[in-house]
Amino acid sequence: NMTEEEMANMDNGHASHTNPLPLNNSTGENELALPPLLEPKDGIVDIIAQQGSTEIFKGIQTKTYGYNGSFLGPVIKITEGEKVTFRTKNDLSEPTTFHWHGVEIPGEGDGGPHQILKPGESEDVKFTVSQGASTLWFHPHPVGATAEQVYKGLAGFIYVEDENSKKLGLPSQYGENDFPIVFQDRQFTEEKQFDYQAALNEDGTIGDTLLVNGTLNPKLTVGKEKVRLRLLNGANARNYTFKLNKGDTFQQIATDGGFLNKPTTLREITLTPGERAEIIVDFSKFDSKSNIALVNEVDTILLPFEIDEQKANSTKISKSLNDFAVTDEERNLPVTKKLELFGMGKIVTINGKQFDMNRIDFTQKQGETEIWEIYNKPDMMGGMTHPFHIHGTQFKVVSIDGEEPPASLQGWKDTVSIEPDQTVKLAVKFPNKGIYMFHCHILEHEENGMMGQVEAI
């Protein structure tokens, strides 16, 4: 017979994702932190992984990791067509890598597990920005320490801008009506420190405390105008559903890797770890007494808004944002790569295998589109949703269980949520050569081996 403690541990394990640890409501007492914008100088962007401490709780220093600062990172802003050098440096006292999630970058610069920087080492990553406007991100990827390093604060945004994006009438004043917003839940010790090993859950580490851009109990002050929120689920494992607390609609304008063809009206959107979405909330219909907030599926307050009525702008957003399409040709391509996601906890596999640094699982010709079919095989307990991510590419979701994907997924993606027993078909093309990871973006699943390697040749 199981002891109560063992039963509680079980609840805390596999079942925790269908019924996760509740999150605390944001009380809204702190203004949301805005990461600094970092643009190339003479083509160079300096990015340093470092350790430090941060006052997350009033009067208490929490030991944290960050890029170019003690916690989280800047927003790196680059432009399509630009030649850039990311000058990376590891000032941590442990090995790390710099992975550019969603960036179409040659394999040797991708920052996967092979590109380890030891403490004190530097590396110049040079590439030409080949993709269009999008909200991407970066984080570490060393085998065995990815989940913990992200948990301690290593994550930043990358904005790609292009010519098209300037003509669309989108809110684009950084920190005024255009905000990067990363959601991460954490478990703090009594001393208000991160203790990753204590919080660790092999099926995905979650916490009861939400940090938004690293801010505890955040609120965001906005004008009486249309505001663009670039949402990133930067959590290790928790899924976030975003709604407005009074049921109002908002518009989604972008997926992971670019704009939707047109703004899509939604009442809620769910992002699994690694996914992004850009949404527009029209605050012109609210006033300072409206008490509007972003909440999750059980109405936990994630981010309350304060409306500054002095600030009012009217913007008209273009009805046509992009020309994304899954072509007939792509639809008719045969499946040439089949992947089966399976397992739980420490035994999570892709096609029955766990990650091996020395094994290339697939090859694919650079520049050629192939159809990847990914099946999430349920287990006796039902299974889990896995956010499936591929490095070095933006792909198209061709179908989910044979059906056309919802409007929300009809855009460039690099991470797609796959529910138990679902089969998802992707049209995947690698614009560059090199070795790329594909994996579940629940970081503990990635660590436990739900990851493989494809070499674009």
* CA 332 – CA 403 distance, rounded (Å): 14
Of 389, 425, 429, 445, the one binding ligand C2O by CB under 6 A? 389
Count of positions on this chain that bind ligand C2O (CB under 6 A): 10
- Report the C-alpha gap between 19 and 11 in whole angstroms: 9
Handedness of CA 304, 196, 34, 159 (dihedral sign): negative
* Pick from 275, 173, 269: nearest CA to 226: 173
Q: Using CB atoms, what's the residue nearest to Cu ion?
A: 440
Residue number with CB closer to ligand C2O (225 or 361): 361
- Selected range binding ligand C2O among 27-35, 277-285, 371-379, 433-441, rule: CB under 6 A: 433-441
Residues 243-282, one symbol each (x = binds ligand C2O by CB under 6 A, - = not), give -------------------------------x--------
- DSSP assignment of 433-452 equals -EEEEEEESSHHHHHTT-EE
372 closest CA partner among 413, 409, 427: 427
- Does residue 136 bind ligand C2O (CB under 6 A)? no
Residue with smaller CB distance to ligand C2O, 396 or 441: 441
| 99 or 230: CB nearest ligand C2O | 99
- Least distance from ligand C2O to the Cβ atom of residue 174, Å: 23
Binding partner at 274 among ligand C2O, Cu ion, none, C-beta below 5 to 8 Å by kind: ligand C2O
Closest among 355, 338, 275, 350 to 112, alpha carbons compared: 355
Burial bucket for residue 34 (CB in 10 Å: 0-12, 13-18, 19+):
middle
What residue ranges bind Cu ion (CB under 5 A)? 101, 386, 391, 440, 442, 445
From residue 418, alpha-carbon distances to 13, 93, 272, 405 in Å are 20, 36, 10, 12
- Residue 386 interacting entry, from ligand C2O, Cu ion, none, C-beta within 5 to 8 Å by type: Cu ion
How far, in Å, CA of 301 to CA of 211, rounded? 12
Q: Which residue is nearest to ligand C2O (CB)?
A: 101
439 counts as binding ligand C2O under rule CB under 6 A? yes
**Contacts (CB under 6 A) with ligand C2O, residues 390-429:** 391
Stretch that binds ligand C2O, among 75-83, 197-205, 210-218, 437-445 (CB under 6 A): 437-445
- What is the closest distance, in whole angstroms, from the C-beta atom of residue 397 to ligand C2O in the complex? 18
Tell me which of ligand C2O, Cu ion, none is bound by residue 396, counting a contact when its beta carbon lies within the kind-specific cut-off of 5 to 8 angstroms.
none
CA distance 263 to 217: 30
Going through 162-212 in order, the beta strands assigned E by DSSP cover 178-186, 209-212
Q: Which residues contact 96 (CB under 8 A, 6 or more apart)?
A: 49, 90, 116, 117, 140, 142, 145, 149, 154
Q: Which of 14, 139, 228, 276 binds ligand C2O (CB under 6 A)?
A: 139
Nearest to 176 by CA among 32, 317, 287, 275: 32
The footprint of ligand C2O (CB under 6 A) covers 99, 101, 139, 141, 274, 389, 391, 437, 439, 441
